[in-house]
Amino acid sequence: MNDELSGKVALVTGSSRGIGRGIALELAAAGCDLMLTGRDTAALEAVAAEIRSLGRRASVHAADLTASTDADLTASTEPAVLAAALDKAFGRLDILINNAGAVRRSNFFETSDAEWQDGFALKFFAHVKLARLLWPKLKASGGSVIAISGIGARAPVPDYMIGASVIGASLAFMKALAQIGKRDGVQVNTVNPGSVDTDRFRHRLTRIMAKTGLEQEAAIEHHRRELDITRFGTVEDVAGLVRFVVSPRGRWIHGSALDIDGGQVGPLRMSVYD
C-alpha cells in the first residue's frame, strides 16, 4: 500500500507549510510527484527537497493566488500561470488539492469590504478558478479534486463570519462540481478539518497561556475541554484522510464533505419541554 499513487501527479496549493505541506509529503510517500505552490519560495524549496529525498519529483511555482481578480482566465492570471508551469513540469494532473486559505477572525461591525473580498479571493475564487482551469487535465486522467475547507459552516459563529461564509460557498460549489465529476469521471470531495496543530494553533496557545497563566500542556488540555473535542488534530490526521480518499480504496467517496474534527461539531440543543 506504500506506493498506491505511483505515477500520479498532484498539485497542492498552500504547500509551503501547515496542512498543505503535510498533504504534499503524504502524497509523495504514496508515490505521487508534486507541484508545490504558495508565496514563500524558500519554504516551498525546502518541501521540494524533502519530496525529492523520498525519490519523487517536485516542482515549485511561487504565486500569490489572491492576485488574480480578473473575471476571465487570461494567460496572465496567477492560476493560468500556475497551470502553465504545471504543464511544463509534468504535462498532466491526477490530483488537485485546493488547500490555500487564510481567513482572519473579525468583528462584523468592524470588518471592511476589502476583508470580505480578501477572504473569498483566496479560499473560494482561487479554488474555483483552478478547478475550472485544470478540469480538462483531471478529466483526461480520471483524476480527483479535494477542497480543504473547514467546519466553520457547520455551526457558524459571529467572530468567524467571513470564514464560515467562504466555507459555506465552497461546500455548495464542490457539491455542484461533484455532479459534473460524475459525468466526466473526476472524483470531487471536501475535507473539513477542525482544530489542527499548525502555526496558527501555536499562536493561539501562546495567547491562552498568557491569559490563564497555565503551562503549555495544561493550556492545551484547558482549550481541549473548552472545545469539547477528543484531542487536537495533527497535519498527519488530515493528510492521511486525503491520501485515503484519492487512493483506489477511497474512490467510491464522491460529493462528500468529510468532517475530521475530534467531534467539535456538536449536537443540536434539544428542547427539554417535550
Ligand X SMILES: NC(=O)c1ccc[n+]([C@@H]2O[C@H](COP(=O)([O-])OP(=O)(O)OC[C@H]3O[C@@H](n4cnc5c(N)ncnc54)[C@H](OP(=O)(O)O)[C@@H]3O)[C@@H](O)[C@H]2O)c1
Residue 19 found at the interface with ligand X (CB under 6 A)? yes
Q: Residues 25, 35, 56, 66: which binds ligand X (CB under 6 A)?
A: 66
- Considering the complex, state which of residue 100 and residue 245 has its C-beta at the smaller distance from ligand X: 100
Shortest distance, position 205 Cβ to ligand X, whole Å: 12
113-120 and 161-184 helices, crossing angle to 10°: 30
Shortest distance, position 234 Cβ to ligand X, whole Å: 10
Please give the single-letter amino acid code of residue 101.
Answer: G
Residues 6+ apart with CB under 8 A from 120: 166, 169
Residues 143-172 that bind ligand X (CB under 6 A): 148, 150
Residue with cell 518541501: 47
Shortest distance, position 17 Cβ to ligand X, whole Å: 5
Dist CA 152 CA 166 (whole Å):
9
Strand residues in 107-228 grouped as ranges (E): 144-148, 187-193
Dist CA 247 CA 4 (whole Å):
7
Residue 189 found at the interface with ligand X (CB under 6 A)? no
Question: Which residue, 41, 44, 42, 35, is CA-closest to 16?
Answer: 44
Residue 242 found at the interface with ligand X (CB under 6 A)? no
Residue 272 grid cell: 427539554
Shortest distance, position 161 Cβ to ligand X, whole Å: 14
Q: Residues 100, 133, 164, 177: which binds ligand X (CB under 6 A)?
A: 100
User: Which three-class secondary structure state does DSSP give residue 73?
Assistant: coil
Question: Which residue, 250, 254, 246, is CA-closest to 94?
Answer: 246
Question: Are the C-beta atoms of residues 87 and 6 closer than 8 Å to each other?
Answer: no
Question: Are the C-beta atoms of residues 50 and 26 closer than 8 Å to each other?
Answer: no
Shortest distance, position 201 Cβ to ligand X, whole Å: 6
- Considering the complex, state which of residue 30 and residue 148 has its C-beta at the smaller distance from ligand X: 148
Shortest distance, position 196 Cβ to ligand X, whole Å: 4
Residue 224 found at the interface with ligand X (CB under 6 A)? no
Stretch that binds ligand X, among 36-44, 104-112, 137-145, 239-247 (CB under 6 A): 36-44
- Considering the complex, state which of residue 152 and residue 250 has its C-beta at the smaller distance from ligand X: 152
- Considering the complex, state which of residue 119 and residue 181 has its C-beta at the smaller distance from ligand X: 119
Which positions lie near ligand X, rule CB under 6 A? 14-20, 38-40, 43, 64-66, 99-102, 122-123, 148, 150, 193, 195-196, 198-201
